[in-house]
Amino acid sequence: MTTTTPAANGGLAGVPLSLTPLTRKDFTSDQEVRWCPGCGDYAVLATFQGLMPQLGIRRENTVIVSGIGCSSRFPYYVDSYGMHSIHGRAPAIATGVAMTRPDLAVWVVTGDGDALSIGGNHLIHALRRNVNITIMLFNNRIYGLTKGQYSPTSEQGKVTKSSPAGSVDRPFNPISLALGAEATFVARTVDSHRAHLTEVLTAAINHPGAALVEIYQNCPIFNDGAFDPLKGAEGGLIPLTHGQPITFGPDAAKGAVRDVAGHVKIADVAEVGLENVLVHDAHAEDPGLAFALSRLTDTEGLRTSPIGIFRDVQRPTFDDLARAQLTVQADPAERLEKLQQQITGTDTWTV
C-alpha cells in the first residue's frame, strides 16, 4: 500500500493525505451508538469525529483497535478501519498493525480495566518500545460493562458489588505508570473539556511513537460524579502548558513548587512568589519532574489533578527501527532469487 501522494509529518509521516477535504460525517459510521445516556464516551466520540478531518490524512488509512469494555465499542461508531478485539490485547494487536503498515494512523481505544488490569503488560511494553500508536485510555474508575465492580483505578475503600466492605486495592495512577515505562508522550484530559481534549489528542496522534492519553470519563450509571471534585468552583484541575508556570485555581492563586527535599508540592503563589513556581517543560529528557507532577493527583479523594501534556520527547520509534533492519529487495523476482539462495544454503551436495 505504498503511495506517492504527500504524507503528513511527525507521527503521521508515511500516512497519505486526503485529496479532498473530509468532514465529521465522513468519520461517522451507520451504527447506532449504544452507550448509556449521559455517558462521557459520547463527548469523546464527538470530539474525535471532529478532530479527525482536521488531520488531513485519508480516512481509509485510519485504524482503530480496541479491547473489551464500554469504551472499546468506539471503533464501531467511526467510519474507518477498525477492530474490536479481546480484553486487554489491543496494544499488542496494534503493534502488529503499526509494524507492518507505516502508512496507517493507528489508534488504540481502551479503558481502565482493559489497559491497566488484564492488559497491563501489553500497555507498559508498547509504551517502553515506543510503538507508533496513540492510546486513548478512558478512565471512569469502574467496571461499567460488567455492571459496576471496582477497577484498578478505583479509590481504596470503594464500595461496589464486588467490594461490599470497601475495596482494599491501591489504585494505579496511569500517568505515573506510563512515565515509569518511559513513554515518550504522556497526557491527561477530561471528557467534558472539548477544546482541551481536541488539543491533546491532536498532539498525541502527531507524536511519533507511543502516546498515552488518559481521559477522565464519567460513568453516569456506576460511578457518577467521580470527577466532580476536580471540576468544582475550587478548580482542582492543574493545567500543564509547556513553557508556562504551573498555576491553577481561582485567580491562579495556587502553584506547583519544589520543596527543600526536591519533591513537588502545591503552594500559595502569593506566599512563595510566581518566580518560584515551576515552569512546565514537557520536552525534558528526564521524566523525573513529570513523574513528580503526576504525583500531584490525589488518587483517593481526587480533589487535585494535573491535566495536559506531562511529557513529549522525541525518540526513534520501535516500528521504524525494526523496519530499518530489513534489507529486502524491491523487485519480487530478485526477492525470490534471494530466498532460493537462503533456502539452498552453502552446504549442499548434488546427486
Q: Among residues 7, 43, 97, 289, which is the contact residue for other proteins, using CB under 8 A? A: 97
Which region among 72-80, 220-228, 242-250, 298-306 touches other proteins (by CB under 8 A)? Answer: 72-80
Determine if 328 is a binding residue for other proteins (CB under 8 A): yes
C-alpha cell belonging to residue 246: 504551573
Q: Are 262 and 276 in contact (CB under 8 A)?
A: no
Q: Among residues 40, 69, 82, 152, which is the contact residue for other proteins, using CB under 8 A? A: 82
- Give CA–CA dist 327/263, Å, rounded: 48
Q: Are 225 and 219 in contact (CB under 8 A)?
A: no
Radius of gyration of the chain (CA): 22
- Give CA–CA dist 134/106, Å, rounded: 6
Determine if 244 is a binding residue for other proteins (CB under 8 A): no
- Give CA–CA dist 140/282, Å, rounded: 25
**Residue 266 or residue 322: which is nearer to other proteins going by CB?**
322
- Give CA–CA dist 25/64, Å, rounded: 17
Determine if 329 is a binding residue for other proteins (CB under 8 A): yes
Q: Are 214 and 190 in contact (CB under 8 A)?
A: no
**Residue 129 or residue 141: which is nearer to other proteins going by CB?**
129
- Give CA–CA dist 268/90, Å, rounded: 43
Q: Closest separation between CB of residue 17 and other proteins, Å?
A: 13
Contacts of 266 (CB under 8 A, 6+ apart): 254, 255, 256, 257, 296, 304
- Give CA–CA dist 79/49, Å, rounded: 9
Q: Among residues 8, 45, 94, 178, which is the contact residue for other proteins, using CB under 8 A? A: 94
Which region among 40-48, 179-187, 200-208, 333-341 touches other proteins (by CB under 8 A)? Answer: 333-341
Q: Closest separation between CB of residue 232 and other proteins, Å?
A: 38
Give the pairing of strands 264-268 and 211-216. Answer: unpaired
**Residue 195 or residue 333: which is nearer to other proteins going by CB?**
333
Size of the chain in residues: 351
**Residue 60 or residue 228: which is nearer to other proteins going by CB?**
60
**Residue 69 or residue 308: which is nearer to other proteins going by CB?**
69
Q: Which of 146, 28, 130, 44 is nearest to 79 (CA)?
A: 28
Q: Closest separation between CB of residue 271 and other proteins, Å?
A: 47
C-alpha cell belonging to residue 128: 517502553
**Residue 99 or residue 284: which is nearer to other proteins going by CB?**
99
Q: Closest separation between CB of residue 120 and other proteins, Å?
A: 10
Interface pattern 12-31 for other proteins (x via CB under 8 A): -----------------x-x
Binding residues for other proteins, total number by CB under 8 A: 60
**Residue 97 or residue 186: which is nearer to other proteins going by CB?**
97
- Give the CA angle between residues 341, 342, 343 to the nearest 5°: 95
Determine if 343 is a binding residue for other proteins (CB under 8 A): yes
Sequence letter at residue 104: L
* Positions that interact with other proteins (CB under 8 A): 1, 29, 31, 58-63, 65, 68, 75-76, 79-86, 89, 91-101, 103-104, 121-122, 125, 322-323, 325-329, 332, 335-336, 338-340, 342-345, 347-351
